[in-house]
A = this chain, B = another copy of it.
């Protein structure tokens, strides 16, 4: 198994010029594990119209658009749809993040979905860090992708 991002031992942006553009979707998830202090702060803050989870959701959507700026070998892609959802799972003291990204392009949007989740989760951390620095982001992973030659993949 070779690393596709390397050619003659050097990193490059894989040439996808000859691939036909097809519809692509990818869905990823992540979890933010809350401490009791963070959970209390989030619940207290979540009642107004400035819900911290909406801040994180927007950060995730905007983060998806910055993927090619952040990940050195990612292709810049014209995204055609981004959804990010955050849900407080209070009984498990965690926030779940899920992102779905769509495009019509020569290559897939897995990195965009993962980046959206990462940025949204980091934003949750940022807003709760005054209450507790012990939060952890975990299980950031791809759930599903479709489109392209390699077809569908599901965790």
Contact = CB atoms under 8 A, between A and B. Distances in A.
B78 A78 contact: yes
Interface string A55-79: 1011101111110111111111111
A44 to B, nearest CB: 7
A18 to B, nearest CB: 8
Contact of A72 (B59, B111, B130): B59
A69 B65 contact: yes
Interface of A: 1-7, 9-18, 23, 25, 30, 37, 40-42, 44-45, 48-52, 54-55, 57-59, 61-66, 68-85, 102-106, 110-111, 114-115, 118-119, 121-123, 125-131, 133-142, 145, 153, 155
24 contacts: A3-B130, A4-B130, A5-B55, A5-B130, A9-B48, A10-B50, A10-B54, A11-B57, A11-B127, A12-B82, A13-B79, A13-B81, A13-B82, A17-B23, A17-B25, A54-B55, A62-B72, A63-B70, A73-B123, A73-B126, A76-B78, A118-B122, A133-B145, A137-B141
